[in-house]
Amino acid sequence: MSKAGGAFLEQALQQHINMHYSALLHPIIEQAIAKQMRSYSSRIAMLLVRVAFASEQTRGIVTNILGRQPGVTPDVLTTILDGSSKTAKGNITRKTPQLTELMDAVEQWIRTAEEEGQTYA
């Protein structure tokens, strides 16, 4: 067999082996990514549920207390709630140093939980 023929055969065999490894690696990689995404999604979902619950509970309590204050008519209450709604919408997209600090803390919490293998699914 010539050197060129041998090199061609070797390359063909290597490509054949690479195709088999590629076919095996693809589902393994997809499964690993899916597992990490489920874990991350569970942590984020838990955090969002905590925030939503606390926020709605606080809103209900504050609205109730505010509506019972002397001099707060239904019109005044509506004006206050509308104003706080506009302020809240503006604050959602504003990035403050305090918010950055909290986001860093949450990211650290998620990383630590991942390293310890915790799941919240």
Q: pLDDT (tens digit, 9 = 90+) per residue, 61-118?
A: 999 999 999 999 999 999 999 999 999 988 888 888 888 999 899 888 888 887 887 6
Beta strands in 4-120 (DSSP E): none
For residue 118, what pLDDT is reported? 65
In angstroms, the Cα distances linking 84 to 52, 87, 90, 96 are 17, 5, 10, 18
Task: Say if 97 falls within a structural domain.
Answer: yes
Dist. CA 77–CA 59, nearest whole Å: 13
DSSP string covering 83-101, please? Answer: HHHHHHHHHHS---HHHHH
Task: Say if 93 falls within a structural domain.
Answer: yes
In angstroms, the Cα distances linking 46 to 2, 43, 84, 109, 121 are 65, 5, 26, 12, 9
H/E stretch holding 48 reads: helix 3-67
pLDDT at 48 over 80: yes
In the numeric block, which tokens belong to residue 101?
């600090």
Q: Which of 56, 66, 47, 51 is nearest to 108 (CA)?
A: 47
Q: Which domain holds residue 109?
A: 3-115
Task: Say if 121 falls within a structural domain.
Answer: no
Task: Say if 120 falls within a structural domain.
Answer: no
What is the total count of domains within the chain? 1
Residue 120 confidence class, pLDDT cut points 50, 70, 90: low
